[in-house]
């Protein structure tokens, strides 16, 4: 009974045989059903993602704006010398820098190996525009950041060194630079005000960006409530090829209990494709998470893209499915 994912897939295959089909059943949309009082309850903890409708890839009538943001940071991998880094910031249609009354939820996104700041808007801006325009998500600010800098090597081993230090850049430089300029729910960029606004802050990433997302949970649970790791597991302990699933989940579980995160709130939408070349690390971590009573469906879910590969098409589907579930308590999300 330990192998929750295998049971799920076996049941799906059995159903396929019984109805005379040749493949897994058509994925159904994850949803949160209201209880008898009208309050939202939890969604199924495992399931299939829903395909993005074609119209969401078309240009919106009310597109947002993407702006380059250069900010001062430090080279944490090498000598700690001052450096300038770059992120790209999406603001939704109607965002007014002079309007200090209207506040916005914020989502930080991280690329994978060899990626760059701003790449999410190259292939994803139409999706973001349409999700907002069609009312699937409230208007929000999105930051496409990077763990690289001008001194970074892009080889795999060096990339691991860079993302392991990214949380320091995020805490001390990136988050204050962005939220000191844009109108988020943070009253100021003091550590206290950033922590007080955690319900309105999310972080997600793909591939090595997914690993970065898990590390953000481990280091920055005080300032982030919503997490979207896409095709990757936690490497707080271990590294690629040395996946210490039990040890990492032990650590996450300990954080949840010691930091009272059940009461404070957190939500992880973990996703991977069934044809993803590195899906095993996500599946194995999900199996470890799902066997523990600590990680209930209102805090952790695992969804798969049927036929999904390790590519941007899968990323767009994960974003389409996950973002409407974020910022539900204390925010304005549907």
- The 10s digit of each residue's pLDDT in 185-240 is 999 999 999 999 999 999 999 999 999 999 999 999 999 999 999 999 999 999 99
Q: What is the CA radius of gyration of the chain?
A: 19
Question: Tell me, what's the pLDDT at 2?
Answer: 43
Q: What tokens does 204 get?
A: 């997600």
Of 64, 209, 51, 210, nearest to 138 by C-alpha is: 64
Measured between alpha carbons, how far is 258 from 247 in angstroms, rounded to an integer?
Answer: 16
- This prediction has a pTM of 0.87
Tell me the C-alpha distance between 298 and 328, whole Å: 11
What are the extents of the domains in the chain? Answer: 44-325
Alpha-carbon separation of residue 170 from 42, 63, 76, 127, 268 (angstroms): 31, 27, 11, 25, 19
Number of H helices, E strands in the chain: 10, 11
CA distance 294 to 13: 28
> Which element (helix H / strand E) includes 50?
none
Residue whose C-alpha is closest to residue 201's, from 228, 181, 234: 228
> Cα 11 to the chain's mean position, in Å?
28
* Residue stretches of the chain with pLDDT short of 50: 1-41, 330-334
Instruction: Report pLDDT for 42.
Output: 65
The length of the chain in residues reads: 334
Handedness of CA 319, 324, 326, 331 (dihedral sign): positive
What distances in angstroms separate CA 208 from CA 120, 139, 244, one per listed residue?
14, 27, 16
Give yes or no for a contact between 96 and 102, defined as CB atoms under 8 angstroms apart.
yes
- pLDDT at 43 (0 to 100): 86
Q: What pLDDT is attached to residue 329?
A: 61
Number of neighbours of residue 244 by Cβ within 10 angstroms: 16
Instruction: Find all residues with CB under 8 Å of 292, minimum gap 6, and list them.
Output: 249, 253
pLDDT in tens, 70-110: 999 999 999 899 999 999 999 999 999 999 999 999 999 99
Instruction: Supply the pLDDT for residue 328.
Output: 84
**65: which 2 tokens?**
């704006």
CATH among 3.40.1160.10, 3.40.720.10, 3.40.50.1820, 3.90.1150.10 for 44-325: 3.40.50.1820
Q: In this predicted structure, what is the pLDDT of residue 100?
A: 93
Neighbours of 329 (CB within 10 A): 11
Nearest to 145 by CA among 179, 107, 182: 107
**pLDDT value of position 39:** 40
């Amino acid at each position: 009974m330990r192998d929750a994912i295998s049971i799920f897939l076996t049941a799906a295959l059995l159903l396929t045989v019984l109805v005379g089909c040749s493949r897994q059943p058509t994925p159904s949309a994850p949803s949160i059903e209201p209880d008898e009082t009208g309050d939202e309850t939890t969604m199924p903890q495992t399931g299939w993602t829903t395909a993005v409708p074609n119209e969401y890839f078309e240009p919106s009538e009310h597109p947002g704006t993407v702006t380059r943001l250069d900010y001062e940071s430090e080279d944490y991998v090498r000598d700690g010398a001052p450096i300038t880094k770059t992120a790209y910031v999406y603001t939704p249609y109607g965002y007014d820098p002079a309007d200090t009354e209207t506040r916005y939820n914020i989502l930080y996104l991280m690329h994978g190996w060899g990626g760059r700041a701003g790449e999410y808007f190259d292939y994803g801006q139409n999706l973001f525009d349409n999700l907002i325009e069609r009312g699937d998500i409230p208007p929000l600010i999105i930051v496409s950041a990077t763990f690289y800098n001008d001194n970074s090597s892009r080889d795999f081993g060096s990339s691991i060194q860079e993302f392991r230090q990214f949380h320091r850049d995020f805490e001390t430089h990136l988050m204050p630079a962005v939220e000191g300029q844009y109108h988020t729910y943070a009253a100021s960029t003091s550590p206290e005000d950033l922590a007080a606004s955690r319900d309105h802050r999310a972080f997600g990433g793909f591939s090595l960006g997914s690993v970065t997302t898990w590390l953000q949970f481990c280091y920055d649970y005080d300032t982030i409530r919503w997490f979207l790791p896409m095709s990757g597991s936690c490497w707080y302990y271990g590294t690629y090829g040395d996946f210490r699933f039990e040890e990492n989940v032990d650590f996450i579980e300990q954080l949840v209990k010691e930091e009272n995160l059940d009461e404070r709130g957190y939500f992880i939408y973990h996703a991977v494709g069934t044809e993803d070349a590195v899906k095993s690390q996500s599946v194995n971590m999900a199996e470890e998470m799902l066997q523990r009573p600590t990680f209930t469906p209102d805090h952790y879910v695992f969804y798969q893209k049927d036929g999904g590969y390790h590519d941007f098409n899968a990323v767009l589907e994960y974003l389409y499915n996950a973002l409407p579930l974020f910022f539900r308590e204390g925010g304005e999300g549907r």
